[in-house]
Amino acid sequence: MLDYTIHKKDSSLEDVVFIHGFGGNSKIFNLQLKSYKEHFNVITIELPGHGESADVDSYNESFSWQLAAREVVKTLDQLGVKKAHFVGVSLGTIIIHQILQDTPARVNSVVMAGTVTRFNLTSKALLTFGKLIKPFTPHLWIYKLFAQIMMPKANHKKSRDSFIREAVKMKRKNFMGWYDAVQTIETTYTKVQEKASHIKKLYISGSEDHFFIDTLKDDIKTDPNAQMITFKKCGHLCNIEKYRKFNEVSVSFLLDQVEKVRKIS
């Protein structure tokens, strides 16, 4: 089971599960917790190789997206959570897409920030460069380089610093395990619309999320239950950079989903 924190538990409220990004931990959602706890039970989960969760090489099988998603679901099983709303950022959105493909029955609705579905040519070139140098380069140097290129502007600094600050705690072997997995992210979205087109999805991206926003727009345009909101003058970690706006629109979206289900039932 993965490391987790239950921030609020009330049997009359629905559960929201937060999934963090690569190299970080659930502190990336600190600016969301207060707003969300007013309306939902809140659970944050640390992915394999992050926080106090098991290292990526501790499993009896090769590390993969399927394994990581399965570990999240196993944690919810242990907590007695049969179904939940999911909120993810960056790497967390990839895990949520994998859950939508593998176990859509566990998902009520999703909110995704800085969503990654696949890489553009620039990011593919950067990944290849990183792959070439990672055997002899400190992993934190690679992480800092990627963070600077992904979030280069002055208004991205708070997000960029947060991104890097938590990554310092990550073991090299865990960084390498996730880095290798990232090469295959396209597999995590290929069947989302086939398996989970009935599930409501809110995608929130910054207009300056230059690595991922165009491919995301292209990928979700045929999903009848996908809605996208773009924050102007905002980068990859829009839940930090524009946190008040993010909280407002995401909480409103989730409350709408709760109300619709109540009316039907």
Phi-psi region at 130: left, alpha or beta (left = phi > 0; alpha = psi -120 to 50): alpha
Q: How many domains does the chain have?
A: 1
Q: Is the pLDDT of residue 262 over 70?
A: yes
Average pLDDT over every residue of 76-98: 97
Interval 226-247: pLDDT, tens? 999 999 999 999 999 999 999 9
pLDDT tops 70 at residue 113: yes
The pLDDT, as a whole number, for residue 260 is 78
CA-to-CA distance for 1 and 10, rounded, in angstroms?
A: 22
pLDDT for 265 = 60
Q: Which two tokens stand for residue 240?
A: 């930090």
pLDDT value of residue 212: 96
- Take residue 237 and report the two structure tokens written for it: 């970690």
Region 103-107 average pLDDT: 98
Query: pLDDT tens, 28-59?
Result: 999 999 999 999 999 999 999 998 999 999 99
Is pLDDT at 149 greater than 80 in this prediction? yes
Q: CA of 163: how far to CAs of 90, 240, 261, in Å?
A: 11, 10, 36
Q: How far apart are CA 24 and CA 40, in angstroms?
A: 23
Reply yes or no on whether the pLDDT at 174 is more than 90: yes
**For residue 117, what are the domain limits?**
4-264
Residue 33 tokens, joined: 């917790």
How crowded is the C-beta side of 27, counted as CA atoms within 13 Å? 14
Helices 172-182 and 121-133, interaxial angle, to 10°?
A: 140
Banded model confidence at residue 169, pLDDT cuts 50, 70, 90: confident
Q: CATH code at 171?
A: 3.40.50.1820
The reported pLDDT for the residue numbered 6 is 97
* Residue-level pLDDT at 165: 84
Predicted TM-score (pTM) above 0.85: yes
If one compares 42 and 170, the residue with the highest pLDDT of the two is: 42
* Confidence (pLDDT) at 259: 86
What are the structure tokens assigned to 246, written together? Answer: 């993010």
The residues that bridge with 42 in the sheet, in sequence order, are 8, 16
The token pair at 59 is 């499993």
**H-state helical runs in 134-204:** 139-150, 157-167, 172-182, 192-196
Share of residues in the chain with pLDDT > 70 (%): 100
Mean pLDDT computed over 71-98: 98
For residue range 176-200, list pLDDT tens digits in order. 999 999 999 999 999 999 999 999 9
- Give pLDDT tens digits for 198-217: 999 999 999 999 999 999 99
Name every residue whose Cβ is closer than 8 Å to that of residue 255 and which is 6 or more positions away in sequence: 39
Average pLDDT of 96-107? 98
d(CA 257, CA 226): 13
